[in-house]
Amino acid sequence: MESLYLLVPLSIIIVFFSLWIFFRMSDSGQFDDMEGPALRILQDDDT
């Protein structure tokens, strides 16, 4: 039972930290172009 006093706040901190990282990457433009690199491999530019 005593371990829950440590694990619950620690897990809440980890969740908020991971959400902060995700939103920071989202604001910086990390996820802007999701289709470009996938379609670039299909183009034949060997000329």
pLDDT digit string, tens, across residues 1-14: 899 999 999 999 99
pLDDT of residue 46: 65
pLDDT of residue 10: 98
pLDDT of residue 20: 96
The residue among 21, 18, 38 whose CA lies nearest residue 30 is 21
At residue 41 the predicted structure's pLDDT band, cuts being 50, 70 and 90, is confident
pLDDT of residue 18: 97
Distance CA 19, CA 22 (A): 5
CB of 14 closer than 8 Å to CB of 20 = no
Alpha carbon dihedral 33, 39, 41, 47, in 10-degree steps, equals -110
Query: What residue segments make up the domains of the chain, in order of their start?
Result: 4-40
Q: Considering only residues 3 and 41, tell me which one the structure prediction assigns the higher pLDDT.
A: 3
Q: Considering only residues 4 and 31, tell me which one the structure prediction assigns the higher pLDDT.
A: 4
Helix or strand holding residue 37 (H, E): helix 36-40
Q: Which two tokens stand for residue 30?
A: 């990390």
